[in-house]
Amino acid sequence: MAFYYLETSALVKLYVRGPGTERMLALAARSSENRLAVLALSQVELRSAVRRRERNGEIPALVATQLLEAFKRHLEARFVTQMVTDFVLDIASALVDRYALRAFDAVQLAGYSALKNSMGIDVPVFVCSDQVLLTAAQQEGIPILDPCS
């Protein structure tokens, strides 16, 4: 059993097929007994990613709605959720000063740090498909996993 923090670029692969989906499905399978965490902000980012694919004609509206409903169920029953707090935002601001990160990417990485601090000895693996964000995480000494590699 392992503990994984799913940044949105990896999380979306559980719901929309693409490179890395099979690895994410294996990681998230109930039989694996892995623990999964997400940042509360991920619900907005995932919704945006799914609706963008719907608007672009990549997935039908009904499928988009079903994916979002499945995610809502999983969010309540399966994921540990790290809230976006003032502490998280302070860490994110410092990360933006250190690395060339977009705001939401810095908040995601800061959410990981806050979760790690609150969990004590149980250090999660940062799962992400964004190379800039993975590089920043690696430079912070965070264990990383790119489901596409």
104-126 pLDDT, tens digit per residue, is 999 999 999 999 999 877 889 99
DSSP-derived 3-state class of residue 33: coil
**Top-level class of domain 3-145:** alpha beta
* pLDDT at site 102: 97
Q: What is the pLDDT of residue 105?
A: 98
- Among 138, 4, 134, 137, CA closest to 149: 134
Are 98 and 135 contacting, i.e. CB atoms less than 8 angstroms apart?
Answer: no
User: Is-contact 43 75, C-beta < 8 A?
Assistant: yes
* Contact between residue 110 and residue 88 where contact means Cβ atoms under 8 Å apart: yes
Query: Are 92 and 110 spatial neighbours (Cβ–Cβ below 8 Å)?
Result: yes
What pLDDT shows up at residue 120? 76
Q: Tell me the whole-structure pTM to 2 decimals.
A: 0.95
What does the pLDDT read at residue 58? Answer: 97
pLDDT tens for 32-51 read: 899 999 999 999 999 999 99
% pLDDT > 90, the chain:
94
